[in-house]
Amino acid sequence: MEETTAARFGIILKTENFSECVKFYQDVLSLKLWYQKPDLFCFHFGVDSYLMVERGGMGSGQRKGTEANPVVLRLDVPDVDRAADRIAELGIDVEVLRFEWGTIAIFADPDGNPCEFKNANDPYFDLP
């Protein structure tokens, strides 16, 4: 594979509850819409990356475990507690966990896909 300097990376998320997931990523997590087509919405996700929400997945009434979905969508935020409080106020179940390596808040989208907030100022992610 040839290396490029302007690579764009993306995640394609197949959803059963398409409309609810689109609303979740757009209205709850405040991802900015890049473009849309009849059966997909593509959101900006980080720097030069995207999250494409499409029809065709399998939903769950609860947060999916790693056996059902081994991928977690992580969003780095300046204040994990504040971000967790904001989505909790919207009725989303969220759990804040503190570790020696940082703080995360875990929650799920309407299909049960696991998501996390992580403290953005984690020095682990500082580039050399």
Strand spans (E) along 16-101: 33-37, 40-44, 49-55, 73-77, 95-99
pLDDT, tens digit, 9 for 90 and up, residues 12-37: 999 999 999 999 999 999 999 999 99
The residue range of the domain holding 95 is 9-125
pLDDT of 122 higher than 70: no
Distance of CA 70 to the CA centre of its chain: 13
The answer to the question of residue 116 being in a domain is yes
Structure-block tokens of residue 123: 């020095």
The answer to the question of residue 3 being in a domain is no
Q: Specify the pLDDT at position 96.
A: 97
Q: How many domains does the chain have?
A: 1
**CATH value at residue 79:** 3.10.180.10
The answer to the question of residue 4 being in a domain is no
Q: Residue type at 46?
A: G
Closest alpha carbon to 44 in 54, 34, 57, 59: 34
The answer to the question of residue 1 being in a domain is no
Q: Residue type at 51?
A: L
pLDDT, tens digit, 9 for 90 and up, residues 50-71: 999 999 988 887 887 777 777 8
Which helix (H) or strand (E) segment holds residue 20: the answer is: helix 18-23
Q: Higher pLDDT residue, 27 or 125? A: 27
pTM for the structure as a whole = 0.84
**pLDDT band for position 39 (cuts 50, 70, 90):** very high
As a whole number, mean pLDDT of residues 36-52 equals 93
Alpha carbons 42 and 22: distance in angstroms, whole number: 9
Alpha carbons 101 and 124: distance in angstroms, whole number: 8
Structure-block tokens of residue 100: 């020696």
